[in-house]
Homo-oligomer: A and B are copies of this chain.
């Protein structure tokens, strides 16, 4: 019952307005021991939910000072009661109470994902749509079965992984959002160019293109280690990289299947070449039409996400954003022409 009551007062950190006080589930993202220039020691701590992160000092004379030093730990989830204030130093929290999240909090709606940035779309629905495309658009039964199995085997991970650590779709289920979008474009483009070049030899193989789109970034699941704080490169991610790792996953899944060697090879090639340039990680450029289509669908989708993110987050004034973004270029914001 108490839980119910508590639930009644649960708020989301990202919904709090200046002066609000309430209970919220948050992830600790930062704890640094610092001191001011004149020697006053303090901890700089950070907490976040899916859409807001707040960083503030815990001074030595704070009632939480001792607990902070001894117990609090970045990567841990907490239930806090706090007053939210917007100040000259940016948003701040005055903590009233704080305790680690416990199992029972799930009853109040706690879910670790609620503390990480995430896709605007339902992971469940995106996954279902991706599966539906696999069933409907991959005519070759061996390829379809392979794509289906690989998706199902990695369902949970797809729903949690970002597409990249920083560059684009850097949020939970970002990999799924990006993969679905690339796959949708690929279906359109494969259909279109099949119609344009009906006599091409060998013919454009739509099953390979679509499965290639579905699987092009699957190696990210090995490139990153996922933790509550987000994704970080694994050792193998550093030394090998997602392009080779994704091809490994494909070959492992295909090992027990009946599949023409050339079909598998062309599918591997889509993964291997999807970044196009050696300096972007692809040892070979697209040498098949399927690989070319997936490369363009992927590149455009990633870049448009970077455009949208730059426009949404850049603090610059004037007709363009700063060039300090993953695109390393200005994005036009408009006005005063």
Contact = CB atoms under 8 A, between A and B. Distances in A.
Interface of A: 33-38, 40-41, 88-89, 181, 184-185, 188-189, 192-193, 196-197, 199-202, 225, 232-236, 238-241, 243-244, 247-248, 251, 260-262, 265-266, 268-269, 272-273, 277-279, 281-285, 287-289, 292-293, 296, 299-300, 303-304, 307-308, 311-312, 318-320, 329-337
B189 A300 contact: yes
Contacts of A268: 239-240
A192 B184 contact: yes
A241 B332 contact: no
Contacts of A330: 238, 287
Contact of A308 (B200, B243, B311): B200
Given A38-B40, A238-B320, A332-B287, A200 B311 contact: yes
Given A284-B241, A308-B197, A89 B300 contact: no
B88 A334 contact: no
A122 to B, nearest CB: 14
Nearest 9 A/B pairs, CB to CB: A278-B278, A36-B37, A235-B319, A262-B337, A239-B269, A296-B300, A261-B337, A287-B332, A235-B337
B265 A289 contact: no
Q: How many copies does the complex hold?
A: 6
Nearest to A248: B251
19 contacts: A196-B304, A202-B332, A202-B333, A225-B336, A235-B319, A235-B334, A238-B319, A238-B320, A239-B266, A240-B247, A266-B334, A278-B278, A281-B283, A287-B320, A287-B329, A287-B330, A287-B332, A288-B332, A293-B300
A296 B311 CA distance: 20
A200 B265 CA distance: 40
Given A41-B88, A241-B283, A278-B279, 6 more contacts: A37-B38, A260-B337, A262-B335, A283-B283, A289-B304, A293-B304
Contacts of A304: 193, 196-197, 289, 292-293
A221 to B, nearest CB: 16
Given A239-B284, A287-B239, A292-B304, A89 B35 contact: yes
Nearest to A334: B202
Contact of A331 (B196, B232, B287): B287
